[in-house]
Structure 1
Amino acid sequence: MLARGDRRGFVALDVDGEVYAIPKWTGLKTNQVREKLGDPNDLRSVDEAKGHISATMQPAVSRWQEELKAREQKLREAQEQQRQKLIEKQRAERQRLKKKLEERQTREARQRQARFRTGLQGLWDRMRGEHSKIRRENEASAWEAHLRDQQHSDDMIFRQMDERKSLKREQVREMSSIKDQAHDLAKDLERFREARGRPSGMARDGPSLER
């Protein structure tokens, strides 16, 4: 924003209230600046310009803060829906696996039981020790099947845990972004309030320019 400097020259203020001497920053002489911009007396003083910037920006920042709060609330609701959806999906997966394993266990148990012959053949198997051999083989097979099924269950549990952790990390990242923005807006609001009551001070010198 253009403003009238303490020495009736032209200065510019940025959004943070920093004051810049236009002739020094543009490399123009004061008369050249006056020819281009007119009479500086038509402009606000530095303090008035600061007050105008602060009065303009404070409501804007407050409005952005309210909008950010609304975004945060919507994000929290969306994240909770994501979490519940994942929980329901994983619960259904566990139920399907449980049913699948139970059906396979029943089928394999019948297959192992079918290895025992009945009637006179079964009696003959008992007499020559074949029945005991089959029983031991069935027990070993059942144990291997148990370990296999347990591994399948563990694999699903660990995969689902990874899914939940991944979702949690993503949600924390999203919420951290909102909180960082809220922190920045709070700092901006405080800066505008301070700038409004800060004395005008000296204009900053411009960059060194080669003639």
Structure 2
Amino acid sequence: MILVGNPRGGGRDLAQHLMKTDNERVVVAELRGFIADDLDGAFRETYAISRGTQCRQYLFSLSLNPPRDAAVADSAFFQAVDQAEAKLGLTDQPRALVFHEKCGDDGRVRRHAHVVWSRIDVEEMKAIPLPHSKRKLQDVARDLYLEHGWQMPRGLAVSGERDPRNFTLAEWQQARRIKESPREIKAAFQDSWAISDSKAALAHALQERGYWLARGDQRGYVAVDRHGEVHNIAKRVGIRTKAVRERIGDMEELPSVSDTKIEIARAMQAKMQDFQREVAEREERERVEATKTREVLEARQRAERQAHQEAARLRAQAEERERQNRLRTGLAGLWDRLRGERKRTLERNRLEAEMAQRRDKDARERLSESQLSQHRVTVMEQSRKHEETKATARDLTEDAKVFRQMEADAAPDRNARLEAFKERRRSEDRPRRRSRSRDGPSYER
């Protein structure tokens, strides 16, 4: 059944809405954990408690809608409510359960239910958080459809579009890294079964999830995955073979496992070729981008060096002028010579010039080291991308070999069956040889 829930406030409006009897029969089936004995009183009670917290959406309202033609007992509704309650983390919280029955224009009675929980934990005096409630309710709904054997709405089934022929290169690499768990495989088969009602629909649903319908070698209904593994449909879905036979029909109309493996292998080899072309194009793009990146980096670093050299030259000229201006001329200069001041000024200028040279040298070295570091980072990043691309190409080559081997392994069995079929046809079409006897002519094969 479809489960739709959301946290909300407005208890009075919700109570009035649930108790409306327009064209409906309303039954309050349960009031658990409340002092009040009516819906409006129960929600007022929850609101009063919530005033001790900062929570405004103090209720969680959930509607439960079974398939239109399904006859669902009260016990099934209660079981579904308990499952949703446990999944949401609202176990033992006060709740109200209301049934609605409405007669449609076609004379059929549609029955659904609403359940409302209090979110307020009275011991902690805080609201119970409800993260990912939509996803959790979808999980419960899927389990209910599978449990009751209802045909699941296509939007509710978790297909994931796992047909490997539709994978992008990134999706193929991810699928290569991770291995499907038995639970995921079982879920894929159960989803396929739940949303299909015919052989064609089941075959399509299975292929969307990466499985091909086939006839088992031991006269079973099976599906083959892209690895060539054979899965028994009845066992994976958890039903009897008779139910599979009723939906699929004559087993002889299905391709054999060998033929299916050859089909998969050829389809996947074509996909691997597409991936290899994509990798080759990516490698060429990376090469062009790497060349462009290096050229841009070299131009920028060349400009930085030129700017640094020009700034150092201008600074050195200014500092040299400043030092020369300290040496006085004329009578003042003669007086500086006589008292030794000129000698001290020259020594000071020499020391400052040496310090300026060391400073400029250190600055050049720092700039050079910075630019070398930038160059190393760029080269390492380009090398990493190049190695990843090469590794991807090697993986695709290995995958292509696997599928070629799958085709080669399946071909002998297929050829043997073809030869056996041809031999049967030759024996059936062989002309009878005439022989004579005392009793008259007779015919033998």
- TM above 0.5, yes or no, is yes
The 5-angstrom pairing of residues 7-26 of structure 1 reads: 7-26=218-237
Q: Say if 2:405 is the partner of 1:171.
A: no
SS of the residue aligned with 1:6? coil
Q: Say if 2:290 is the partner of 1:79.
A: yes
Give the stretch that moved more between structures: 137-146 or 182-191: 182-191
Shift of 1:199: 4.9
- Structure (1 or 2) with the greater helix fraction: 1
**Would the aligned equivalents of 2:216 and 2:256 in 1 still touch at CA under 8 Å?**
yes
> May I ask how many residue pairs the two structures share in their alignment?
200
Query: What is aligned with 1:45?
Result: 256
Query: What is aligned with 2:325?
Result: 114
Identify the structure with bigger relative contact order (alpha carbons < 8 Å, sequence gap 6+).
1
SS of the residue aligned with 1:141? helix
- What is the CA deviation profile of residues 59-85 of structure 1, one whole-angstrom value per residue up to 9, with x for unaligned ones? 221122012101101111111100110
The 5-angstrom pairing of residues 145-164 of structure 1 reads: 145-164=356-375
What is the CA–CA distance in structure 2 between the aligned matches of 1:138 and 1:39, rounded to whole Å?
105
Residue of structure 2 aligned with 1:98, choices 287, 309, 329: 309
Shift of 1:43: 1.1
Query: What is aligned with 2:247?
Result: 36
Query: What is aligned with 2:350?
Result: 139
What is the CA–CA distance in structure 1 between the aligned matches of 2:229 and 2:409, rounded to whole Å?
11
**Would the aligned equivalents of 2:259 and 2:410 in 1 still touch at CA under 8 Å?**
no
What is the CA–CA distance in structure 2 between the aligned matches of 1:34 and 1:67, rounded to whole Å?
42
**Would the aligned equivalents of 2:269 and 2:404 in 1 still touch at CA under 8 Å?**
yes
What is the CA–CA distance in structure 2 between the aligned matches of 1:41 and 1:8, rounded to whole Å?
9
Give RMSD over aligned pairs: 1.4
Residue of structure 1 aligned with 2:400, choices 151, 173, 189: 189
SS of the residue aligned with 2:227? coil
What is the CA–CA distance in structure 2 between the aligned matches of 1:148 and 1:198, rounded to whole Å?
74
What is the CA–CA distance in structure 2 between the aligned matches of 1:148 and 1:138, rounded to whole Å?
15
Query: What is aligned with 1:204?
Result: none
- What is the CA deviation profile of residues 16-44 of structure 1, one whole-angstrom value per residue up to 9, with x for unaligned ones? 21111222222222111111222221111
What is the CA–CA distance in structure 2 between the aligned matches of 1:151 and 1:7, rounded to whole Å?
82
2:338 maps to amino acid = M
What is the CA–CA distance in structure 2 between the aligned matches of 1:21 and 1:151, rounded to whole Å?
75
What is the CA–CA distance in structure 2 between the aligned matches of 1:112 and 1:157, rounded to whole Å?
29
2:390 maps to amino acid = K
Q: Say if 2:276 is the partner of 1:65.
A: yes
What is the CA–CA distance in structure 1 between the aligned matches of 2:394 and 2:331, rounded to whole Å?
86
**Would the aligned equivalents of 2:261 and 2:410 in 1 still touch at CA under 8 Å?**
no
- Structure (1 or 2) with the greater strand fraction: 2
Which segments of 5 or more consecutive residues in structure 1 lack a partner in the other structure? Answer: 201-211
- Identity of aligned pairs, percent? 38
Q: Say if 2:340 is the partner of 1:129.
A: yes
What is the CA–CA distance in structure 1 between the aligned matches of 2:410 and 2:266, rounded to whole Å?
16
SS of the residue aligned with 1:198? helix
Query: What is aligned with 1:89?
Result: 300
- What is the CA deviation profile of residues 128-159 of structure 1, one whole-angstrom value per residue up to 9, with x for unaligned ones? 11111000000011111111111211111111
What is the CA–CA distance in structure 1 between the aligned matches of 2:409 and 2:231, rounded to whole Å?
16
SS of the residue aligned with 1:116? coil
Query: What is aligned with 1:206?
Result: none
What is the CA–CA distance in structure 2 between the aligned matches of 1:134 and 1:111, rounded to whole Å?
12
